[in-house]
Chain A
Amino acid sequence: MAHKMRSLLTTLGVIFGVAAVIAMLSIGEGAKRDALEQIRLLGTNNIRINAVKLTGDKAREAESKYSDGLSYKDGLLIRSNVPSVRAVTPIRFVDAPVMKGNKESAARVIGTDHLYTEVTNFSVDDGRFITPLDISEAKRVCVIGSKVKRELFGFRSPIGHRIRIGEEWFRVVGVMETKRLREGKASIIKIRDINRDIYIPITTALKRFRDEEKPFFVNEIAVQVKSAELVEPTARIIRRLLKRTHREVQDYEIIIPAELLAQSRRTQRVFNIVMGSIAAISLLVGGIGIMNIMLASVTERTKEIGIRRALGATEQDILGQFLNETVLISATGGIIGIVLGVVMAKVINIFAGWETVIALYSVLVSFGISAMVGIIFGIYPARKAAQMDPIAALRFE
């Protein structure tokens, strides 16, 4: 151990290799949890249909085919024609300022119906949600998200009070529960902060905030399917249905969270292969470095080997001694690498905003790998030491 600095430099390859493995696995684990959570938010049994804004030639084609985009009627059509569907709810964004007295809230106004809570698995905390009666009579009532409530009402109960949306006055009938959201920036699906939403009846939204060109336009339709296995076939049916009603104009897209999950896993795999290769190359280089230094060490310590053999060490003893040293060096590198990897994961989390999770198995795997590198690259130098002629080794100066 007279060469601590040299040993440390030698292990750099292993240190970086292991750190890369740790960081890679932590990003993978974080992304997996992130994706799972977001997909849970969208609902695994759900299908989303988003409106797509067409431009240029495609917009003109849409006009010539009389397709006026995703509409409330599409939702009704799906509900009445696809038996595997449990519930359908429309989502229409209303672009209007939300005021209470002089206070303005950065809320997003959404026109939807009574099934929204069921489809999105999101429920009311105080008061009630939109009812079928609100829909059929296009009442001016609203249900506000927890953050909107805090902004506009503080700790007072908002039920029964009025807020202004655009030019209209709405009565608050309920407050939504608070949904915890991760602050992941690199999310695979963009999710708005639903705690800032304000819900009004879809009919009110269509009537009071009327878009003259597309009076029944909705931004999204959320579809809940009866069971997970039916998601795939249901999506196929919906696709066919919409193709016909939209006269083959692609002014909508169908998103299946479960499929997105699979896709994100594929992306993840590519990322893993790239990072894994980097780690493998680093470990290979690190291993060769260690082997190199151990070969030098064996030559340097030829005399010692001779002495030990003369005093009764077997070939096996010498082999064990050098193998132990190599494993010690690379495992030490492994531990330093694990620490560095954890730090790297934290840094990535802070600066890139990616969710990173250090799982116990990744630490164990990394440590195992570093010890393996020690064994694999230590065998050759250790054998060389063990097979030295003891007499020649004793004479070595």
Chain B
Amino acid sequence: MLIEAIDLHRIYRMGENEVHALRGVSFSIERGEFVSIIGPSGSGKSTLMHIMGCLDRPTSGSYILDGTPIEGLDDKRLSRLRNRKVGFVFQSFNLIQQLNVVENVEVPLVYMEMDRHERRERALQMLEAVGLGHRSQHKPNELSGGENQRVAIARALVTDPDLILADEPTGNLDTKTGQEIMELLKRLHEQGKTLIMVTHDLEKAKWSSRFIHMKDGKILHDFRDTDGADIVGMFYESTAEQEAQ
């Protein structure tokens, strides 16, 4: 088991008000799964992703990543865990504009304290793997959106993490480029990577093998083995079911 979440709660304090972003979420994910988390905005899916990526901690409940419970870890250990085990892919790519493409890919390796030459070599290999070897010296703003996202994926993969967390990876891309990125992610899944994708696009969720529907900080439904199944149909069924209650 790669991920185990037990009764996660997350409460934000906004002045006088308390916002319950997660209200008791439990699930587990095995190695090699490709999971989509779907839900409307405010459903808690982003909060869940931040906790899974070790960027945030639950207010209560426990989160165990690859056998390591994150409660009680200090900033240094949590950051190291994030660095080694997790690769993030964001909707808006989140590349550092001042750095060129290969330097961007190297950033996670800097925090692994890898030496300069090895770092460059690994980063170039990764860029080669996503088909951008020839763009290594360009600045991100000289590249197209699709290329930017490929760089971000290369950056997520460069530390050879156990888990790839993708937050609306195609949200800023046109349909055709989005398709290409999804194919790239699919290929990673086929190579045995564990992928978790947060999206509100049902069409993209179809690519995954498992599908978690969230609403109001809770898991509404968790569909397994969705390969070839009618995800859209299941989603509407689950929503209707919810509304009927």
The reply on B50 being an interface residue by CB < 8 A is yes
- Bits for B50-77, please: 1 = Cβ < 8 Å to A, else 0: 1001011000000000000000000110
The reply on A308 being an interface residue by CB < 8 A is yes
User: In the complex the two chains form, what is the Cα distance from A307 to B95 in whole Å?
Assistant: 8
Do A311 and B83 touch across chains, with their CB atoms under 8 A apart?
yes
The reply on B88 being an interface residue by CB < 8 A is yes
User: In the complex the two chains form, what is the Cα distance from A236 to B25 in whole Å?
Assistant: 97
Given contact pairs A310-B82, A311-B155, A312-B83, A317 touches B111 in the complex (Cβ within 8 A)? yes
Question: Which residues from A are CB-within-8-Å of B90?
Answer: 394
User: In the complex the two chains form, what is the Cα distance from A315 to B76 in whole Å?
Assistant: 7
The reply on B184 being an interface residue by CB < 8 A is no
State how many residues of chain B have any CB contact under 8 Å with chain A: 23
Nearest CB on A from B93, distance (A)? 10
Do A391 and B76 touch across chains, with their CB atoms under 8 A apart?
no
User: In the complex the two chains form, what is the Cα distance from A391 to B112 in whole Å?
Assistant: 21
The reply on A309 being an interface residue by CB < 8 A is yes
The reply on B107 being an interface residue by CB < 8 A is yes
Question: Which residues from A are CB-within-8-Å of B56?
Answer: 391
User: In the complex the two chains form, what is the Cα distance from A309 to B75 in whole Å?
Assistant: 10
User: In the complex the two chains form, what is the Cα distance from A310 to B95 in whole Å?
Assistant: 12
Do B76 and A316 touch across chains, with their CB atoms under 8 A apart?
yes
**Chain A, residue nearest B95 (CB):** A307
* B 87-127 contacts with A by CB, 8 A: 88, 90, 94-96, 98, 107-108, 111-112
* A 275-321 contacts with B by CB, 8 A: 303-304, 306-317
Do B94 and A314 touch across chains, with their CB atoms under 8 A apart?
no
Q: Which of A1, A304, A313, A394 contacts B111 (CB 8 A)?
A: A313
Nearest CB on A from B226, distance (A)? 29
Question: Which residues from A are CB-within-8-Å of B43?
Answer: none
Do A311 and B76 touch across chains, with their CB atoms under 8 A apart?
no
Nearest CB on B from A1, distance (A)? 8
The reply on B84 being an interface residue by CB < 8 A is yes
Give A residues with C-beta under 8 Å from B: 1-2, 303-304, 306-317, 390-391, 394
List 27 contacting pairs A-B, 8 Å CB cutoff, sorted by A.
A304-B96, A304-B98, A306-B94, A307-B94, A307-B95, A308-B111, A310-B53, A310-B55, A311-B82, A311-B83, A312-B79, A312-B80, A312-B83, A312-B84, A312-B108, A312-B111, A312-B112, A312-B159, A313-B83, A313-B111, A314-B79, A314-B111, A315-B76, A315-B79, A316-B76, A390-B55, A394-B55
Give B residues with C-beta under 8 Å from A: 50, 53, 55-56, 75-76, 79-80, 82-84, 88, 90, 94-96, 98, 107-108, 111-112, 155, 159
Known contacts A311-B155, A314-B75; 17 additional CB pairs below 8 A are: A303-B94, A307-B94, A308-B111, A310-B53, A311-B83, A311-B111, A312-B79, A312-B80, A314-B76, A314-B79, A314-B111, A315-B75, A315-B79, A316-B75, A390-B55, A391-B55, A394-B90
